[in-house]
Amino acid sequence: MMRVGAIIVAGGTGERFGREGGKQLAKVFGLSVLGHTLRAFESCEIVDEVVIVVHPDRVAEYAIEAEQTLKVTGIVAGGETRQYSVAAGLAALATSFDVVIVHDGARPLVTPSIISEAVHLLVSSGVDGVVVGHPAYDTIKCVDADGAILATEDRSLLWVAQTPQVFRAASLRHAYAAAAEDGFIGTDDSSLVEHQGGRVLMLLGQRDNLKVTVPEDLPVVERLLQTRAEKS
């Protein structure tokens, strides 16, 4: 039987958020941002276990936040970078898992259905990874350090990458080990797998799968959660 583990990355300092306690524990529509994220993974039948990676100084605080979430089997300290934090989550996740999901704790609008869809696409396609995202709808400019436009990119080839990002466990572990050995720094988990020659597919997700970054994001998330609740 296939085993699926998830790493939820919540280790950032939240400097851009600018509020005490950071974005992960900010309250929105009755729960913390992280609480909504955890609820989606708790409700997703395909997910067996969850490891949360948090700021080293806040392990106990996050443990209280996650104590009602039955699938959480570990809360571990992250590092200075997201890549280091995911590596810590991988180390805490049992090697018996076949599939590993990596998700930003600050994306509370993730749904159980998109998590399951990404895992099913990974398994059925035989690729190394699947990244949820959507096409770039805006015109994308490449600029230099002074802001001068160097080129207008062909947006028909460009997608915005989100999370969850789903991988065959062996491929992700190999990519992280290789990155640690050769010093490669990626901008997301997929880039590490790509760097090792892995094949990764994009999966169309919802545009409202927002990442909470600044306080102004909270009212938007609140309204979207309220709309979902009214439709259910």
CATH number of the structural domain spanning residue 44: 3.90.550.10
pTM: 0.94
Nearest-angstrom CA–CA distance, 196 and 175: 6
Closest CA to 56 of 77, 85, 74: 77
Number of domains in the chain: 1
Contact yes or no for 110/37 (Cβ under 8 A)? yes
Residue ranges making up the domain that contains 191: 4-134+160-231
Residue 154 belongs to a domain = no
Q: Is residue 104 part of a domain?
A: yes
What average pLDDT does range 160-176 have in this prediction? Answer: 98
What would the pLDDT profile of 6-61 be if each residue is shown by its tens digit? 999 997 655 555 555 568 889 999 999 999 999 999 999 999 999 999 999 889 88
Residues 163 and 216: their CA atoms lie apart, in Å, by 21
The sign of the CA dihedral 64, 12, 54, 56 is negative
